Amino acid sequence: MPTKQSTNSEEEVDLGSLFVIIGKGFSKLFNFIGDIFKGFFHFLIVILIFLKENSLKIGIAAIIGFAVGIFLETKSSDSFSSVLLVEPNYESVSQLYNNINYYNDLVEQKDTLGIQNVFNLDKETAASLKEFSIEPIINENDIINAYNDFVLEVDTATVSSYSFKEFKNSFNDLDYQIHKINVIAEKNDIFNKLDEVIISSVVKNKYFDRVKELTNENLNRTDSLLRQNLGQVDSLRKVYMQVMIEEAKKQSNGTSIDLGGEKRSTKELELFETNRKLNSELIDVISSKSSMSEVINVISNFQPKGSEIKGAENNKGVQLAILSSVLVIFILLLLKLNNFLSVYRK
Q: Is 201 left (phi over 0), alpha (psi -120 to 50) or beta?
A: alpha
Backbone angles phi, psi at 76, to 5 degrees: -85, 160
CA atoms of 129 and 161, how far apart (whole Å) = 49
Contact yes or no for 285/226 (Cβ under 8 A): yes
Amino acid identity of residue 286, one-letter, is I
pLDDT in tens, the chain (346 residues): 455 555 555 555 566 666 677 777 777 878 888 888 888 888 888 888 887 888 888 888 888 887 887 777 666 667 788 889 999 888 888 899 999 999 999 988 888 898 888 888 888 888 888 889 999 988 888 888 888 877 777 766 666 667 778 888 888 888 888 899 998 888 888 888 888 888 888 888 888 888 888 888 888 888 888 888 888 877 877 777 777 777 767 766 554 445 444 555 566 777 778 878 888 888 888 887 887 788 888 888 888 787 776 655 556 777 788 888 888 888 888 887 777 777 766 6
Q: Is 106 helix (H, G, I), strand (E, B) or coil?
A: helix
Neighbours of 115 (CB within 10 A): 22
d(CA 88, CA 211) in angstroms, rounded, equals 13
- Other CB atoms closer than 10 Å to residue 54's CB: what's the count? 16
The most distant pair of C-alpha atoms in the chain lies apart, rounded to whole Å, by: 122
